[in-house]
Structure 1
Amino acid sequence: MQEPAARYGGYKSFDYLTPHTDYKVFELAPQLGRVPEHDLGLSDSQRERVGRLLREHAAISLHEHPKILPADVSELRDYNRTGRNAFGFEGLARSGLTAVFDNFMNGTGCVTSEHAWKWDDVIYDIGLRFADVAKQDYVVVATTLDEIFAAKRDGRLALVAGLEAATMIENELDRIDILYGFGVRQMGIAYSQANMLGSGLSEERDGGLTHFGRRAVDRMNKLGIAIDISHSGDQTSLDVIEASRVPVFITHAGSRTVWDTPRMKPDDVIRACAERGGVIGIEAAPHTTLSAKHPHHSIESVMDHFTHCVELVGIDHVAFGPDTNFGDHVGLHDSFVGHLAIGRAHGAVDHPRVPYVSGLENPAECFSNIVGWLVQHDYSDDEIAKVIGGNIIRVLREVW
């Protein structure tokens, strides 16, 4: 784990408010030390190289939820209903990251409804997070590449606002413009269940991108919102790739060839994404990117998907979107299994359950361990620079 960023001044979420008076207080999970650190067995020189690579190059996580969960995950619904999720400023200050695509509560947002993806819930979520960020000077909201580069130069962390689905726009195309105005720069098409735009990956029949969905893709292209197809069905994903005038992201997934569940992408979708210039970010949320070689989910399982995708489409089209948070991610899945359609999405493949993904448990450790693994496996500096951020920057130059 990296030393804390020099620009981080110790701010904690909602320090500008009075606890218990202005907001409901929950005991939160620790940002650091919740689980044992993963030992990659690096030499001193390898560790020095990891630090240098993170200092010299932009490291961008294409998909995270860097909030802090309650220590007692059974309180998660009550916590989310307040609309206030504490942000992991301290943990991120040790991450070595340049920028993080923050996807907020998304499918677990239940401020006004039990079923998430409501317009008001999304606005609460974004607005309260941005108010918190505005009261400190380490994390900055970024809406352009220049702002990401400036954050790197200034020793800050850039937050890019992302949403995993466009479900909350319903049939209102102009809501995409409103979200853009609020700072959103990346958005998914559907989250597991179908919506007005297309089918999610948990549907038995995928009708593909709808007419309204094509109009939404066109509007996102015109505005400069990066499109994500991670949770979209296979046909919908292919339709989006074809309809978009610019490359699209698979921000957080893996290969179905490596682990055969609907949550993973088939190789033809990964190829089609890459052929149009897009990038796949490799996922690490619990019990997703497993492999036959490493069925106990760990960094080794995740990197099996990475190496397969590099062999499939080349190193210019692969990045990382670990999809982690601070706290019990397995407990989060258990709490929202119905909302997130986890059973159908993850399939019925039998595998060992783990309490956490060793080596990629939270945003504080992910990229130092990813870079450490790449160093250990003799990837060049140029190759590492591409997969930890350079490939994402290339796509954003076209999209934004």
Structure 2
Amino acid sequence: MLEPAKRYTGYTAYEYLEPGVDLKEFRYAKQIGRVPPYAGLELSGVQRERTERLLREEIVISLHDHVQVFPEDMAQLREHIRTGREPTGYEGLARSGMTAVFDNGMDGTCCISSDAGWKYQDVLFDLGVRMADLAHQDFVVKAGSVADIRHAHETGRLAHVFALEAATMIENEVDRLDVLYGFGVRQIGIAYSEANTLGSGLKERGDGGLTYFGERAVTRMNKLGLAIDISHSGDRTALDVVEHSTKPVFITHCGSREVWPTSRMKPDALIKACAERGGVLGLEAAPHTTLSAAHPRHSIESVMDHFTHLVDIIGIDHIAFGPDTLFGDHVGLHNAFAGNLSIAQAHGTVDFEKVEYVDGLENPAECFYNIIGWLVSHGYSDDEIRKVVGGNTLRVLEEVWV
């Protein structure tokens, strides 16, 4: 983990509001030091200097994270989310070394802000209040173009890209994609595990593929310049998207089903099809997802087993990282919302040892230091590291973001 970015002034989320008057007070999880630092990365002095240099000097992009801070007491989680003001973890992000992060707000993930489901107006509210908070500081800045990401890198800032895990909230109104784009959304998923009007999710018993409306939506996404994510889509729906889209598609946070056989992972045939059309896969690290037979206790080593496998399958030019981390108890969040998150359906009958956190990839502040450190210690060149931590994503965005 790096020292705090010089541009960061110590701002905390919504500090322009009065606690207890304008917003409800919660005790939040630590952004730094909530769990012990990863002890498995034994770098020499030279390797440590190289790791820090790459993290400081290169464009580093997370394809998928949740950079909000969650309550220390997870029993307050539902109450907290319903307030609609999820705080950005500026302190942790200032130590991350990231140039850009695709941040998936929780109203756009699994319907947990409202028991009524994916409400379009809830998503717009969430986007609006997050943007209002970003506007009150000058380190984490809203980004909607490759030029914005490059400018953030040049000026010591962090580019924040708004993303949604699924397009469920557009229902059958394709013009809502234009509105979301206008609000700053630059990447969107097709379905979050459950089927919607666009196609099927990965938890469904059957997968009917991309619907006719889904085809219209994908065409509009291409025209707008919305990056498309198929991480939580069913296999047939995901392949239909890859084939129908005129632009490369992202699998922003996933791994290989051949390495860990659950529906949450994607089969190599689908991953290859995505790569052949120019797409990129971001490696996932949310608890109990990217496990492996060699490392069934989830840690950075489990994730990198997927990495080495995919380098052999699709080549290093089509791999990135979408760790899918957050500030707080991620396992606790999964336990609280197991039904919404399709945990049981995603894991099926595969046995695994539960962990309290993913050692080495626990939160957005530590991920890329440990990822780059692992790559350095395993003999990858600067050029190879440059590609997987940002270059591959940037290449696709230059084609997709028109």
Confirm or deny a common fold (TM above 0.5): yes
What code does the residue aligned with 2:345 have?
A: R
Alpha-carbon distance in 1 for matches of 2:111, 2:82? 7
Structure 1 residue 164 corresponds to structure 2 residue 142: no
Aligned match of 2:109 in 107, 113, 119?
Answer: 107
Q: Identity of counterpart residues, as a percentage? A: 66
Q: How many Å apart are 1:236 and its aligned residue?
A: 0.3
The residue number in structure 2 matching 1:218 is: 219
Secondary structure of 1:200 counterpart? coil
Would the aligned equivalents of 2:207 and 2:236 in 1 still touch at CA under 8 Å?
yes
Alpha-carbon distance in 1 for matches of 2:121, 2:303? 35
What code does the residue aligned with 2:314 have?
A: V
What code does the residue aligned with 1:373 have?
A: W
Higher mean displacement: 281-290 or 127-136? 127-136
Alpha-carbon distance in 2 for matches of 1:284, 1:44? 27
The residue number in structure 2 matching 1:133 is: 134
Alpha-carbon distance in 1 for matches of 2:360, 2:309? 19
TM-score calculated relative to the size of structure 1 = 0.99
Alpha-carbon distance in 2 for matches of 1:329, 1:399? 31
Gapped regions of structure 2 (runs ≥ 5): none
Q: How many Å apart are 1:108 and its aligned residue?
A: 4.4
Would the aligned equivalents of 1:80 and 1:109 in 2 still touch at CA under 8 Å?
no
Q: How many Å apart are 1:115 and its aligned residue?
A: 4.6
The residue number in structure 2 matching 1:60 is: 61
Alpha-carbon distance in 1 for matches of 2:290, 2:217? 30
What code does the residue aligned with 1:37 have?
A: P
Q: How many Å apart are 1:121 and its aligned residue?
A: 1.6
Alpha-carbon distance in 2 for matches of 1:316, 1:123? 35
Q: 1:223-249 deviations in whole A, cap 9, x for unaligned?
A: 000000000000001000000001000
Aligned length: 399
Would the aligned equivalents of 2:11 and 2:137 in 1 still touch at CA under 8 Å?
yes
Q: How many Å apart are 1:109 and its aligned residue?
A: 4.9
The residue number in structure 2 matching 1:148 is: 149
The residue number in structure 1 matching 2:237 is: 236
What code does the residue aligned with 1:293 have?
A: A
Alpha-carbon distance in 1 for matches of 2:360, 2:5? 21
What code does the residue aligned with 2:224 have?
A: L
Higher mean displacement: 113-122 or 329-338? 113-122
The residue number in structure 1 matching 2:369 is: 368
C-alpha spacing 1:107/1:116, structure 2 compared with 1 (3 Å) = farther
Structure 1 residue 23 corresponds to structure 2 residue 23: yes
For 1:1-400, list aligned pairs within 5 A: 1-39=1-39, 40-105=41-106, 106-111=108-113, 113-400=114-401
Alpha-carbon distance in 2 for matches of 1:369, 1:54? 10
Gapped regions of structure 1 (runs ≥ 5): none
Q: How many Å apart are 1:261 and its aligned residue?
A: 0.2
Q: 1:226-284 deviations in whole A, cap 9, x for unaligned?
A: 00000000000100000000100000000000000000000011000000000000000
Would the aligned equivalents of 1:253 and 1:280 in 2 still touch at CA under 8 Å?
yes
Would the aligned equivalents of 1:70 and 1:327 in 2 still touch at CA under 8 Å?
yes
Alpha-carbon distance in 2 for matches of 1:118, 1:194? 16
Q: 1:77-101 deviations in whole A, cap 9, x for unaligned?
A: 0000000111100000000000000
Higher mean displacement: 44-53 or 379-388? 44-53
What code does the residue aligned with 2:11 have?
A: Y
Q: 1:312-361 deviations in whole A, cap 9, x for unaligned?
A: 00000000000000000000001111111111012221110000000000
Alpha-carbon distance in 2 for matches of 1:284, 1:116? 26
Secondary structure of 1:129 counterpart? helix
Secondary structure of 1:338 counterpart? helix
Structure 1 segments of 4+ aligned residues over 2 angstroms from their partners: 106-111
What code does the residue aligned with 1:313 have?
A: I
